[in-house]
Amino acid sequence: MELHIVIHGRKDLANQLYEQLRESIESGRLAPGVQLPPSRLLAAQLGLSRKTISDTYSRLTYENYLVGKIGSGTFVNTLNTPSPRNQSATHLASQKRVDAWQNLSLPLRHPTREGTLRCDFIGGATAKTQFPLDEWRRCTQYALRQMAQARGFYSQPEGVPELRSAIAGHIAFARGVRCVADDMVVCNGAQQALDLVARVLIEPGCTVAMEDPGYTPARLLFAAQGANVASIPVDAEGIVVERIPEDAHVIYVTPSHQMPLGMPMSLARRQALLEKASRIGAIIIEDDYDSEFRYEGRPTDSLQSMDAFGVVAYVGTFSKTLLPELRLGYAVLPKAIREAVIKAKQLSDWHTSTLPQWALAKFISDGLLNKHIRRCHGVYAGRRERILARFASDLSPWMEAIPSTAGFHMAVMFKVPVDLPLLISLTRKVDIGFYSLTGFYHEVTPRNGLILGFGAIETLDIDPALDRLRDVLTQIT
């Protein structure tokens, strides 16, 4: 390793080296567990004698800054913790902007490994036990071979062509999306796709219309870009189109599986939305986050498949079909904004990592994605049926489910007054995670209910978890 040490003159060499190494360890620049260069190598790099290096290492070892391991080398002692840096508070010219970001509340954050509950009905998460690790490993090995053949340049900001082609074929079959590979940009999850479209379309003070209740991270993202976010209520058919402001630049919707209530947007409402967007010059962002899992009724194609005006930006993700940690999503863009979004992507992060892109291209082209979706569909359908059965039986005195026809979450509403924060707190004490619908509402009066995700909880854990919910409800009502 290269170690940044500067030696001045020819006097007090050992002390200069000692002081700089000790300061580096105390400040954390040399982290606990880091291996130092062998004395012979460091002596050659600094133009010092090997004895000077060895004596300095010995002194720092005696003072517990370093530890020697026979046969391995010299390491920064893991018992040593860096001292905090003393920095005076500085008034920034951009302090108001910094404060606005710092004071953002970020709901829907997933727990750390240490904070994971035994039974968790968290939304937007999948069960890792369903992930086809062996098949993905083989695809990753293929990806490494493809990268080994490359010349080492940056890739295209819109994504690896083979992946864009594979996604285009998949979503045409699964969701009726009308597109070719050139219409698409591969992103770091759907959230980056939303961010890129927002960067291109939103300027401070312009209006973005979105569902209320709706996907809170999207609302926060648009507001952070400086938009005036207009809350539009939803009914049984979806967003109430006539309430969308005439000056809206962007309309954000989840038409196939409304987030968080779960109902699909009706055909008539979809057509009305497309016509209004075309008339006022707005772009519709269609977030189709998990509707590849459908359980009843006729399959509903994407809103984009109906778009005759070129106003729909279709956003999809593999976080729900595979794993959130992969951070792979995409946007199918109308011609009017396609090149602008590609340039925004390049300025943002140049391109998404090519290793998972190549792996996913192989995974899709070999038919493994469809196979995985079919397998998960059976698992999620069983979980959904079990949850619905419980809310139709012993839990029915307190709650009723709004059965969604797609995805892997549903909303359940309380029939009786319940102290929801108390309920959530008490169930967490018995290692069960439930989550309120309240955080998805902005201006519309929240309904008292829960969002139940059934992607991450194991099937055998559902009944014991709902038993505990019933016991807590009996206790507090």
DSSP letters, 204-233, are TT-EEEEEES--HHHHHHHHHTT-EEEEEE
What's the DSSP call for residue 178? -
Written as six digits, the tokens of 435 are 């989550």
Which pLDDT score, from 0 to 100, does residue 81 have?
64
pLDDT digits (tens, 9 = 90+) for 18-74: 999 998 898 888 889 999 999 999 888 888 899 999 999 999 999 999 999 988 899
pLDDT band at 82 (very low <50, low <70, confident <90, very high): low
- pLDDT tens-digit readout, 179-202: 999 999 999 999 999 999 999 999
Specify whether the CB–CB gap between 358 and 437 falls below 8 A.
no
pTM: 0.85
Domain with CATH 3.40.640.10 in the chain: 133-366
What are 121's two structure tokens?
Answer: 């009905």
Cα atoms in the Cβ-side hemisphere of radius 13 Å centred on 396? 6
Rounded percentage of the chain residues whose pLDDT exceeds 90: 74
Q: What is the pLDDT of residues 365-395, one digit of tens each?
A: 999 999 999 999 999 999 999 999 999 999 9
CATH number of 113-127+371-476: 3.90.1150.10
What is the sign of the dihedral through the CA atoms of 296, 384, 411 and 212? Answer: negative
Domain with CATH 1.10.10.10 in the chain: 13-76
Please give the average per-residue pLDDT across 284-288, as a whole number.
97
Structure tokens at 174: 């699964």
pLDDT exceeds 80 at position 331: yes
Question: Average pLDDT over the chain, rounded to whole?
Answer: 92
**Residue 117: what pLDDT?**
85
Cα gap 322→166, rounded to integer Å: 16
Looking at the chain, the domain(s) classified CATH 3.90.1150.10 span: 113-127+371-476
Query: CB neighbours of 435 closer than 8 A, spacing ≥ 6?
Result: 121, 122, 123, 424, 450, 451, 453
The whole-angstrom separation of Cα 228 and Cα 206 is 6
Task: Report residue 49: phi and psi, to 5°.
Answer: -75, 155
For residue 240, give Cα distances in angstroms to 105, 262, 265, 445. 27, 16, 10, 16
Q: How far apart are CA 144 and CA 35, in angstroms?
A: 29
Residues 153 and 179 sit within 8 Å (Cβ to Cβ): no
DSSP 381: H
Task: Give me 87's structure tokens.
Answer: 């920095």
Topology adopted by domain 13-76: Arc Repressor Mutant, subunit A (1.10.10)
* 161-175 vs 368-391: helix crossing angle, rounded to 10: 40
For residue 121, count other CB atoms closer than 10 A to its CB. 28
Q: Determine the pLDDT at residue 298.
A: 67
Residue 79: pLDDT band with limits 50, 70, 90? confident
Length of the chain: 477
Domain 133-366 has CATH 3.40.640.10: yes
CB-count exposure of residue 203 (10 Å: 0-12, 13-18, 19+):
exposed
pLDDT at 211: 98
